[in-house]
Amino acid sequence: MDSVPSAARPVRVLIVEDSEDDALLLVWELKRGGYSLRYRAVDTRSDMEDALRSECWDIVISDYSMPDFSGLEALAVLRAQALDVPFIIVSGNIGEDVAVEAMKAGAHDYVMKKNLSRLIPALDRELREADVRRARVRAERELRENEARFRAIASNIPGTVYQFMLRADGGASFPYVSADCARLLGVGPEALQTDSSVFRELLHQADRDSYERALQRSAENLTDLNWEGRIQLPGSSEIKWINLRSSPRPVGDGALLWEGVIWNITQSKLAEIEIRRSRQQLQELSDHVQRVKEDERARIAREIHDDIGGNLTAIKIDLLWLTNRLPAESKALHEKAGAIERLVDRTMETTQRISRDLRPGILDLGLIAAIEWQAEEFQRRMGIPCEVATSDDDLSLDQGLCIAIFRIFQETLTNISKYAQATRVDVSLVAGEDVVVLEVFDNGRGIAPDQLSKPGSFGIRGMQERARSLRGDVEIEGVPGVGTRIKVEIPLDADAVTPAALTQKALF
């Protein structure tokens, strides 16, 4: 073995030649052609087999006629090893019929020794073609591996991998559908690939239009398709919820190809529906409790006002009658009677306050009057100016809506008195054609966002629940050091929304 260091093109050459001079002539010719050689010369079958086992070669150059070994035998040895190595025959005297026989046997080219100038071009060509063949083999192997990997993944994910093509003429097809299709959709991949309309027939009738719209938007904007809906399995009443997620790409001739996955989301969808139903039932229960509580407050307020208040008034009248008949000289009796009268007065004031807190009678005069009265009470009790601005002097609203807004306003003032450290409060009550808006702004320290969701914030949650029960909304914005703004918006037709309608909307 010999090697020549060079910056030229490296090549590993196995030379099958019994003449040392001819072998050196080949080496010289290859070096002259710009190759840096690593070579080995052999002239027997065993030596060639050993060389092929021990090292990797880029090319084999073989003489055709040798006393103990021939070029065709050397070619047979190479082919037996199943190696993709170019084989070039170099001979001093070879006929055309022999050259054809060698090429048929698998030789890549032949060169006459008297015309070695053809050796370098032949070597260049065969090395290039060998590189191409190896690259193709690697690509085919990687393609097979990737395809096997894809099929393994597609067969094990809990969904159906698919390709959907929409042509420019409106025709559609499923070029590929994974085998899991039968388990999810109840039809095999062949059925969808044969007739794409089978998939549309599987879609629940109520969901077909939404699927078509989603597909059209995805095609027009080249955006991802993300659609969920129901399918009904063939010959069965079973309903499944599926989710399609795929991405479109143009594939020529105006056609689009979506590639993605169909997921079975039946269990999660049923759980979501059940959660919504439970939430709606809780909302209905909360609404019922609020109505019962307001009715009970009104009943207790009436009883306190009519019964206890009436009794206290009668007691005071009788006490005055007795006081007027006490002996003038009995100072102790007059003092006791005065003390009892003051106690009755305080009890009457407490009774009136409790009755107002339970349900202010001023609510019967309308929401504006109630809001203004509550603002005056807050200002008198807390010493904080509270200005009310309204868009209308006469705001006619449903009684339930008035009570809800009034209770939210009461809770807002309570929170301001406890936490805001404000010196001024501004209130705005505006009714439009379809919504009533209550805004309360204080110039206090401002509520922080994390305080809105902290445990124990039942006042804020109660406000939000009251508004939500009437399809309304409560917005709370706080700026530290500036103040807090609370905005309540409730539709004027909220009282027309029934629990059944809300349930229907929540589920579908």
Q: How far apart are CA 462 and CA 476, in angstroms?
A: 13
Going by C-alpha positions, the residue among 415, 443, 414, 412 that lies closest to residue 429 is 412
In this structure, the answer to whether residues 230 and 119 fall within a common structural domain is no
Same-domain check for residues 111 and 182: no
Domain membership of residue 31 (yes or no) is yes
pLDDT in tens, 319-340: 888 888 888 888 888 888 888 8
**Domain membership flag for residue 149:** no
Q: Which domain holds residue 314?
A: 266-359
Whether residues 9 and 99 share a domain: the answer is yes
Once rounded to an integer, what is the mean pLDDT over residues 374-386?
91
Residue at a domain's end among 215, 237, 264: 264
Residue 212 lies in a domain: yes
Q: pLDDT tens-digit profile of 472-504?
A: 899 989 888 889 999 999 898 754 444 444 443
Q: What is the pTM of this model?
A: 0.47
The enclosing domain of 380 has a CATH number of: 3.30.565.10
Query: Could you say which of 359, 387, 405 is where a domain stops?
Result: 359
In a domain, 142, yes or no: no
Q: Do 130 and 52 reside in the same domain of the chain?
A: yes
383 and 498, same domain (yes or no): yes
The confidence score (pLDDT) of residue 450 equals 72
Is 463 in the same domain as 374? yes
Per-residue confidence (pLDDT) for residue 497, from 0 to 100:
43
Q: Is residue 147 part of a domain?
A: no
Instruction: With a cut of 90, say whether residue 272 has pLDDT above it.
Output: no
- Say yes or no: 397 and 318 in one domain: no
The reported pLDDT for the residue numbered 427 is 93
21 assigned to some structural domain: yes
- For the chain, the domain total comes to 4
**Three-state secondary-structure class, residue 429:** strand
What does the alpha-carbon distance between residue 145 and residue 49 come to, in Å, rounded to a whole number? 32
Q: Give me the pLDDT at residue 499, please.
A: 42
Strands 239-252 and 225-232: antiparallel
pLDDT tens string 334-363:
888 888 888 988 888 888 778 767 767 767
Distance, CA of 108 to CA of 104 (rounded, Å): 9
* Together in a domain, 248 and 161: yes
pLDDT of residue 501: 40
Q: Judge if 115 and 48 occupy the same domain.
A: yes
Q: With respect to residue 102, please indicate whether it lies within any of the assigned structural domains.
A: yes
Given 325, 359, 393, which residue is the final one in a domain? 359
* Contact between residue 358 and residue 302 where contact means Cβ atoms under 8 Å apart: no
Whether the predicted pLDDT of 312 surpasses 60: yes
* pLDDT tens for each residue of 412-437: 998 898 888 899 999 999 887 788 99
Same domain, 216 and 274: no
Going by pLDDT thresholds of 50, 70 and 90, the confidence category of residue 256 is: very high
Looking up residue 201, the CATH number of its domain turns out to be: 3.30.450.20
Q: Report CA torsion sign: 58, 64, 67, 70.
A: positive
Q: Are residues 369 and 480 in the same domain?
A: yes
Both 410 and 477 in one domain: the answer is yes
